[in-house]
Each structure stands twice: as C-alpha cells, then as structure tokens.
Structure 1
Amino acid sequence: MSDVVITVRGEHETRIAPERAIAHLTIRAEGPERGAVVERMAALTEPVRDDLAARKAAGTVPEWTSQRVSVWSERPWNNEGKRLAPVHYASVDFSVTFTDFTVLSWWAGEVAEREGVQLAWIEWLLTPETRAQTEKDVATQAVGVAVARAQAYAAALGLSNVTALEIADIGLLTRQEQAPAPAPRMMMAKAFAADAGGGPAVQLQPEDIVVSSAVEARFVAR
C-alpha cells in the first residue's frame, strides 16, 4: 500500500479551582444639583477607599484600583411626555483583588450594605504562572490525542509507521473559517445568596476555570 496522509484533530481540557478573584463594584450618587452630587459621591467613596487601604496594609487585599469619577446629566420624561428638570449622576468604579475567598465573602457582604454601593460582578482567575503552565500541559495533551488518533487510523489500515507532517492550531492547517481554539475562560461567580444566619452576607460559589486546547495535525502513514 502506498503512503497514506492522515489528518486529525486533537482536543483536551482541564478544570482548575480559581486562585484569585477580582471584585468589581460601583459607587453612585444622584440628585438635582451637580455640585451636591459630586460631594455626595466623595462622601460615599471615602470610607470604601479607607477600608481598602487598611486591608491592603494588613495584607488581606493584594491590590485595588479605582477610576476617575464620571459625572453626567439626564432629563427624564414624566408620564405625560414632558421633560423634567435635569438629574445629575456621579459614579466611580473599583476593582479589588482577593486571594482569600473567605475574606472576599465577608467583605462583599459588608460593602454591599453601604449606601450607594453596587457589587457588580466577580472575576475568577488563575495566577499568570499557573495559567501559563496549565496551557502548556493542555496543549501537550491535545497533541498526544492527535497522535493517538493518527496511529489508530493507520493501524486500521494495516500501517505501523506514522510520521508527523504538520501541526497547527485549529483553522491554521485547513485554512478554513473555523472558530479558534478555546482560550482559558475566567468564570464569574456562580451565585450570590443572602445568608440568614450569622455568617457572611454573601456566599460565593466560584466555578472551576476551564482551560482547553485543540489542534489539527497531518501525518503520513506507511
């Protein structure tokens, strides 16, 4: 039998518990007077900043950032279709990094009770080192799956010598319009729930982070 070209796809994925969490919150104020709204925003923001600064100094919060205050105005409509007086708004966003999820749970419960504060969402992440190593391991496993498939096809044809010709990410080998290989996904919080007991006011149930890889490979079997 002459040489046979075999083209296969290999995939692999793994799930890892998050190592970091980034909480995103917004502090917002509104009212009829622009200056008063900005002052109110500053008053609402100050205790949150002080608390985060203290937590960072204590080592329970590795990092936090805040953006500039955004100020804008809108003129709402009433039920009769008339424009009302302008309403002024001011908001500032915070991002807070946690490595201890118990601390995060208690903090989220406390901060959510503050006036003008809205806890928007939580990102669940791996450290850069873990992510890089996991991506490497998953890619290696995906290549192994491709090799095993090629060998199985060759064996079914009575061939035993399998040599790799090409290997690439999905879409690069076939040069077709296909979706790229899945990248690591940073999962959001699975659920927020109020706690009726004396524990944290917010219970966090992070999903595992899925790291996946897929490759295309072409082999020649003899």
Structure 2
Amino acid sequence: MSDIMVSVRGEHELRVTPERAVVRLTVTADGPQRGAVVERIAALAEPLRDELAAHQASGAVAEWSSERISVWADRPWNADGARLALVHHGTIGITAEFADTTAASDWVGSVGLRDGVRVDGVDWRLTPETRAAREREAATAAVGVAVARATAYASALGLSTVTPLEVADLGLLGHPDQVGAPMPKMMRAAAFADAGSAPDLGLRPADIVVSAAVEARFSAR
C-alpha cells in the first residue's frame, strides 16, 4: 500500500497574567490667556512627573515619558451663532509603564480624580522575555496537536506510522494559486482595559492571550 498524505492544522492557546501596565494620561487646561493656560498645565503636570520619578526610583515604574506642552486657540460660537472671545487650550500627554500592576492601579485611581487630568487608558503587556517564552511554548504545543491529529487520522485508516513532511505557519502550505493570499499571524498577544472615570478605578486586567496555529503535512503508512 502506498503512503497516504495527511494534512492537518494544530492550534494552542495560553492565557497569561499581565506583568506590565502602560498608563496613558492627558493633562488639559483652557482659558482666555495663553500664559495662564501654560502655567496651569505646568502646575498640573509637575506633581504627576514627581510621582512617576519616585515610582521609577522604587522600581514600580520601568519607564515613563512626558510630551511637550501643546497650546492652540479658537473662537467658539454661542447658541445665537455669534463668535465668542478667543479661548486657549493646552495639553500634555504622559505615558508610564508600570512594572508593578498594583501600584499602577493605585496611581490611576488617584490621578483619575484630579482636576484637569484624564486617564486615556491602560494597556496590559508581558515583558519581552515572558512573551518570547510563552510564544515558544504555544508554538511547540501547536505542533504537538498537529502530530496527534495526524496520528489519529492514520490510526483510523489502519496505519501505524506517520512521518512529518512539512510544517509552517497558517497559509504557507496552501495551493500554488493561493500564494498571494493574506497570511494569518501565527502568534497574537493583546489585552486592553479602559480605566474609565468612576471613583473606584481598581484595575482588573484580563489575561493576555498568546496563541499559535500551524499547518502540517505527514505521510502515513
């Protein structure tokens, strides 16, 4: 009996607790005088920077950055369609990557209640080392699933030996006329939690999903 070709797909998914919290804030101020708006922005941003510097010194923050003040002006319209006096607007964006997710939750809960400070969101991440290790783990497990499926198919046909011929990311073992087709990603890892504006901003991040999927071909005899 000639060898039979067996083509299968293997998938595996891991759920990993986030290790880093990237907090994004915007400090805002408005007023009729440009100088007063700049001073107000600086006064609001200074304690935030001081707190982040202290958190970084303690190890709770891995890194943080602050944008330069952006100021612009416009003349709003009133309900009667008349132009009002010039209003100046100012903003500063601040981003902080917390290595301590509990400290991140506490800090967001504090700054989210301050006048002129808006919490834009929190992105949950893994460290590069953990992400790479979990991706390798997921890929290894996905190949194992493919081998198990091929073995099961062969056994159902009364065959006892399977030999791997090809293994690749999804889409790479397609027919020749599918070469130009979009290729699905082998791995993904994403999670986001909106900090919101409620008084209790205790952050409860969802697990980060790391997944892998492969296609494989075996000969069975």
Give TM-score scaled by structure 1 length. Answer: 0.88
Q: Which amino acid aligns with 1:95?
A: T
Distance 2:146 2:204 in 1: 35
Q: 1:47 to 1:190 in 2, by over 3 A?
A: closer
The equivalent residue for 1:44 is 44
The more displaced of 154-163 and 211-220 is 154-163
Q: 1:59 to 1:191 in 2, by over 3 A?
A: closer
| Equivalent position to 1:187, from 187, 191, 216 | 191
Instruction: Tell me how far 1:189 sits from its aligned partner.
Output: 2.3
Q: Which amino acid aligns with 2:123?
A: E
The equivalent residue for 1:202 is 201
The equivalent residue for 1:7 is 7
Distance 1:72 1:191 in 2: 27
**Aligned runs of 1:26-45 on 2, under 5 Å?**
26-45=26-45
Distance 1:191 1:207 in 2: 13
Distance 2:74 2:195 in 1: 33
SS of corresponding position for 1:94 = strand
**Aligned runs of 1:57-68 on 2, under 5 Å?**
57-68=57-68
Distance 2:18 2:125 in 1: 5
The equivalent residue for 2:166 is 166
SS of corresponding position for 2:90 = strand
Distance 2:145 2:40 in 1: 59
- The one-character-per-residue Cα deviations of 1:69-111 (angstroms, maximum 9, x if unpaired) are 2223334333334444443221111111222232222211221
Instruction: Tell me how far 1:34 sits from its aligned partner.
Output: 2.6
Q: 1:171 to 1:76 in 2, by over 3 A?
A: farther
Distance 1:79 1:212 in 2: 54
Indicate conservation of the 8 Å contact 1:64/1:94, yes or no. Answer: yes
SS of corresponding position for 2:97 = strand
SS of corresponding position for 1:148 = helix
Q: 1:190 to 1:70 in 2, by over 3 A?
A: closer
**Aligned runs of 1:1-222 on 2, under 5 Å?**
1-174=1-174, 175=179, 177-178=181-182, 180-181=184-185, 183-189=187-193, 194=198, 201-222=200-221
Q: 1:59 to 1:181 in 2, by over 3 A?
A: closer
Query: Which consecutive residues of structure 1, in runs of 5 or more, have no partner in the other structure?
Result: 196-200
Distance 1:60 1:161 in 2: 54
Query: Which consecutive residues of structure 2, in runs of 5 or more, have no partner in the other structure?
Result: none
Q: Which amino acid aligns with 1:55?
A: H
Instruction: Tell me how far 1:39 sits from its aligned partner.
Output: 2.1
Distance 2:29 2:163 in 1: 66
Distance 1:214 1:220 in 2: 20
Indicate conservation of the 8 Å contact 2:120/2:194, yes or no. Answer: no
Distance 1:45 1:126 in 2: 28
Instruction: Give the aligned length.
Output: 217
Indicate conservation of the 8 Å contact 1:23/1:97, yes or no. Answer: yes
Instruction: Tell me how far 1:62 sits from its aligned partner.
Output: 2.7
Indicate conservation of the 8 Å contact 1:190/1:206, yes or no. Answer: no
* CA RMSD, 1 decimal: 2.1
Indicate conservation of the 8 Å contact 1:190/1:205, yes or no. Answer: no
Q: 1:192 to 1:88 in 2, by over 3 A?
A: closer
